[in-house]
Each structure stands twice: as C-alpha cells, then as structure tokens.
Homo-oligomer: A and B are copies of this chain.
Amino acid sequence: MHDALQTLGLKVSEADQPKLTRIDLLDQQALPDHEVWVDATAPETMISAIRALKVRGAPLIGVAAALCLGHYARSHVPEAIQLVALALRQARPTAVNLMWAIDRLMQLPAEAMWPEALAILQEDINLCQRMGTAGADLLANGDGVLTHCNTGGLATAGIGTALGVIRTAWEQGKELHVYVDETRPLLQGGRLTTWELEHLNIPYTLITDNMAAMLMQQGKVQKVITGADRIARNGDSANKIGTYSVAVNAHYHQIPFYIAAPYSTLDATCASGSEIPIETRAAEEVQGVVQAQQSLRWAPATAPVYNPAFDVTPASLISAWITDQGVFTSAEALYGSGPV
C-alpha cells in the first residue's frame, strides 16, 4: 500500500494492485460533530454519495467523480465505462465541473483515465492556490467579507474557491472578519464553513441568510465572495440557492460582489443563465432539517414546498470573476482568457 493522498474531504489509498485502491470521502452530512469517512470506490456508492451530498462542492464533485471513473476504467470494458460515465454525469445536473471532468476522461483510452483523474486532483489543488492569490488582492485590511454556502477545503481538493481567497488574504496578514450565511436548506455555511473557519482560526460570525442585508445596512460588509457551479457564456452564474438574493442586496448597498471559480466552471454551451438546468430537491429539506444523524420537521408534513438547489445571478450584478487565470470584470474578458 502506498501512502494515501489526502485532502480535507477526500482520501485516495493507492495500492500496487488496482483492486486494492480505495477512494474515501469525508461524509459532509455528518459534519461538524462527526468525522466519518465512507468508502466510495464503487460507482454506485460514489453516485449515491454525490446525490446525498456526502461529497459536495462543484470542484470536489468533479475530482471525486473523475477518480471513481478513472479507477473503474482500470478493470472494466468500454461499454461498462460508458454506463458509469453517464450515471455519474446525472448525479447532479447543475455542477458543470462534473460534466467537464467526465468528458476529460472519456476522450482518453481506458488505461489513461486513472492517471488523468489523479492529474485533475493535483490540478485542482494548484488552481485553488492561483485563485486564492489572484483574489486576495481584492480584499483590504479590515474588511468584513460575507460568504454563502461552503467553498473551502471541503468543496475542492485544495484550499477552496471563495473561502480560499479569504484564507489566502488572511494568511497574507490582512485582518478580516468573515460573515457566514448559514445557507438554508442544507446549512453548508452553518455546518461546514464554520467548521473550516474554526480550524483555520479565522474570526467569523454565523448568521441566518436573511440577516445579511441588515449587516450590509450597518456597514459591516465590505466585500461579498461566493463560488459558482456553472458560468454561462454571458457571465450569468449559477450557485447555491440564496446567492442571487445576496447579490441583489450587495448591489443595493454598492458592495462589490465577486464569484470565485476555476475555469472548469465555465460552460460556453450555455448562452445565458436561463439555459442552466436547476436541480430541485426534496420537500423534506425545506419542511425541516434533514441530516445524517438526526432530522427534524417543523412545518406541517403536508406543506407544499419549492426547493431549488441553485439560483442564477445575472452578470450585471457581478463585480468580477476570480479564476485561476486571474480576475476578470466582464464575461467577454473571462471567456477570452482561459483554456476553455
């Protein structure tokens, strides 16, 4: 058994014999109170882990799915690999990094897929570092920075996207205070971003999503940074539900609103945000809170619910996109820049 390759949310234990390789995921539904690792080497367990949000964050989903497919390809026939690729693509419809990672593997011969998946993992680490460095310049000493959902080490293989920018600026010595939207319904901010910030010793305050506007009104927020799951050709950006509301509020309060995302989030096949498919999820998530360890319903069990997992922020509300290729203030510049 070789040394395990481990990130905050993912562990690859590689053996000389492919059959002994394991891909483990930190079950993000059990955090912050329980650190439970689950074996997601088999495609069916990986797919259900993606669906159940045990692994989440657009970049990490891409990396995890690539590892799963790459490993599977080492010992299966092309027809089976095709089927697994299809099933993985369908596990979460909004995150384009997932499609991008699968496509990147599927254009290669089977034996090249596993090394490619490991390369994607390593690239994601490097991308995060470059995004962090590019974006940190936008944050000033003393800033209050509001973020939504979780975009840190748990959402990527590296230091993260939006949270990676905050972390990089903090490590450069800038005094920051992070305001963390709890991010209903699945509470990635309340459960995961808090957990990461505690570990990083970066000062923060947890709020419910509907308090962000009041903080802006009070002058406590100088910058907003979120991630993205897909960026259309015109710059419209899909991200976790609630991002659009934050962007509208930032616009009203004349606060810069930044998106931090790797170039694999760009989708030139989507002309605008209206073409981005938005996943809708189970009513139970809004009728109460659904977690791995414990669930609680507070609304009537019959309450009709709307539960879109993502929303689309129009390019007009986005001050800049922070990518591994640099910072871009228009969709034209963003799409003209990178390897897409």
* Residue in A184, A217, A299 whose Cβ sees the most chain B Cβ within 10 Å: A299
* In the complex, residue of chain B having the shortest beta-carbon distance to the beta carbon of A297: B33
Residues from chain B with a CB closer than 8 A to the CB of A82 are none
Report if A124 contacts B (CB, 8 A). no
Task: Tell me if B210 and A304 are in contact (CB < 8 A).
Answer: no
Give which listed residue, B194, B246, B305, contacts A206 with CB less than 8 A: B305
Q: Which residues 211-248 of A have a CB within 8 angstroms of B? A: 211-215, 217, 241-242, 244-246, 248
Give which listed residue, B179, B299, B302, B311, contacts A213 with CB less than 8 A: B311
Scan A276-292; emit 1 where CB is below 8 A from any B CB, else 0: 00000000001101010
Task: Tell me if B303 and A194 are in contact (CB < 8 A).
Answer: yes
What is the CB-to-nearest-CB distance from A29 to chain B, in angstroms, rounded to a whole number?
A: 10
- The bracket for how many chain A residues form the interface is 35 or more
Give which listed residue, B32, B209, B299, B308, contacts A190 with CB less than 8 A: B299
Task: Tell me if B299 and A289 are in contact (CB < 8 A).
Answer: no
What's the Cα separation between A125 and B305 when bound, in Å? 31
Residues from chain B with a CB closer than 8 A to the CB of A198 are 300, 302-303
What's the Cα separation between A194 and B289 when bound, in Å? 16
Task: Tell me if A215 and B306 are in contact (CB < 8 A).
Answer: yes
Task: Tell me if A298 and B191 are in contact (CB < 8 A).
Answer: yes
Task: Tell me if A194 and B245 are in contact (CB < 8 A).
Answer: no
* Residue in A204, A214, A305 whose Cβ sees the most chain B Cβ within 10 Å: A214
Task: Tell me if B245 and A208 are in contact (CB < 8 A).
Answer: no
Task: Tell me if B206 and A209 are in contact (CB < 8 A).
Answer: no
Residues from chain B with a CB closer than 8 A to the CB of A312 are 217
Give which listed residue, B204, B248, B311, contacts A252 with CB less than 8 A: B248
What's the Cα separation between A220 and B236 when bound, in Å? 20
Report if A207 contacts B (CB, 8 A). yes
Report if A296 contacts B (CB, 8 A). yes
What's the Cα separation between A239 and B205 when bound, in Å? 22
What's the Cα separation between A302 and B204 when bound, in Å? 11
Residues from chain B with a CB closer than 8 A to the CB of A303 are 190, 194, 198, 204, 206
Task: Tell me if B289 and A296 are in contact (CB < 8 A).
Answer: yes
Report if A50 contacts B (CB, 8 A). no
What's the Cα separation between A235 and B25 when bound, in Å? 53
* In the complex, residue of chain B having the shortest beta-carbon distance to the beta carbon of A191: B298
Task: Tell me if A214 and B291 are in contact (CB < 8 A).
Answer: no
Scan A185-197; emit 1 where CB is below 8 A from any B CB, else 0: 1010011001100
Beyond A194-B303, A217-B311, 4 extra complex contacts between A and B, CB < 8 Å? A32-B300, A210-B242, A245-B245, A248-B248
| A interface residues (Cβ-Cβ under 8 A, vs B) | 32, 179, 181-185, 187, 190-191, 194-195, 198, 203-215, 217, 241-242, 244-246, 248-249, 251-252, 286-287, 289, 291, 294, 296, 298-300, 302-308, 311-312
